[in-house]
Amino acid sequence: MDIKNLETFIQVAELSSFTKAAERTGYSQSTVSFQIRQMEKSLGFPLFERVNHTVSLTGMGREVLEYAHRVRRLTQELERQLNREQPLDGHIRIAMADSLCSWLLRDDFGAFRERFPGITLKIISASTEEMFRLLNQNEVDMVYTLDNHIYDRTYRIAGEEKVTSHFVAGTGSLGEEKVPLEELVRLPFLLTEKGMSYRRLMDEKLASFSLEIQPVLETGNADLICRLVEQGMGVSFLPDYVTRKAVKEGRIRYLAIDGFDIDIWRQLLYHRDKWVSPQMEAVTWYLSEKHRRRT
């Protein structure tokens, strides 16, 4: 089977469009259609369902796509072996929770750039719902969520880690580490935007106690919130990866709230129909190494 036809098939499957696949591959739409018909004739079954100008994989098409990805991966590996001195380059688009952006890029992003100087990244901050809309439309290659654990056969998990979080306050504010929840919600709060990742999970948990917080400040910059908490400007609810250094250095402290546990996960996912390129593998490696160094 012609490898060029397999590549075209992968593009049509990822983009759910013959027209977009033609634009990406540089072929005419008639050529793309001909290549797919060639494959279908050779295999003896349809790869796509074409209904009302929509294109979707058939059940057998999904199976063929997995094999196509394997062939593509083996071809790439062969090319890399034959060209060992050729640097890895390309562009990766990642949608992620806003508070993960600074965590991802600060401190040791230079190590990633040094190892993979040819790879460029585009980071898009978005809510979890928006992330998966972008992923489903192939507008991003991967999503990096901070939310409930996501189980969905449509997506593959490239990496995951459970995240702990706490209510936090400056070391010079509040007299007790244990604060009743009913009193805590009346304090001045500095929070990320409503409906976003762990803020949404916190709000849902509070609602189960018939409680609600009216923050004095809302911003997507978790590092800024941490600094303001240090200055005694208010209290907050933040993931421990944001506050760990400040807590260790005694600049802020955790508040113990009985019965307030939230299940939060950091997950790196991609669509099951997406080919995992060497560039995506490099980004996955970087994040895995970052997790390992932080634990």
Please identify which residue in the block is written with the tokens 């106690």.
Answer: 209
Which pLDDT value is given to residue 67? 87
Decide: 274 and 134 in contact? Cβ < 8 Å: no
Question: Can you give the pLDDT at residue 80?
Answer: 65
* Burial class of residue 218, CB neighbours in 10 A (0-12, 13-18, 19+): middle
Helix (H, G, I), strand (E, B) or coil at 60: helix
- Ramachandran area for residue 91 (φ above 0: left; ψ -120 to 50: alpha; else beta): beta
The per-residue pLDDT string of the chain (295 residues; one tens digit each, 9 = 90 and over) reads 678 888 899 999 988 889 998 998 888 889 999 999 999 888 899 999 988 778 899 989 888 998 888 888 777 776 665 555 556 788 999 998 877 877 777 767 888 888 888 999 999 988 888 999 999 988 999 999 988 899 888 899 988 888 889 999 998 766 556 778 888 999 999 998 887 788 889 999 999 999 999 999 998 888 899 999 999 999 999 999 889 889 999 999 998 888 888 888 989 999 988 888 888 888 888 877 766 555 4
User: SS3 of 96, please?
Assistant: strand
For residue 45, the one-letter residue type is F
pLDDT given at position 226:
92
Handedness of CA 157, 152, 75, 91 (dihedral sign): negative
Helix and strand element counts for the chain (H, E): 12, 12
pLDDT at 105: 75
- What count of other Cβ atoms lies within 10 Å of the Cβ of residue 289? 14
Distance CA 115, CA 172 (A): 43
- For residue 268, the model assigns a pLDDT of 92
Q: How many CB atoms lie within 10 A of CB 270?
A: 20
Locate tokens 């080919």: which residue? Answer: 275
Residue for token pair 């939310």? 147
Torsional class of 236: left (φ above 0), alpha (ψ -120 to 50), beta (otherwise): beta
- Read off the pTM: 0.69
C-alpha closest to that of 262 among 208, 210, 209, 201: 201
Torsion of CA 122, 128, 130, 134, to 10 degrees: 50
C-beta of residue 3 within 8 angstroms of C-beta of residue 75: yes
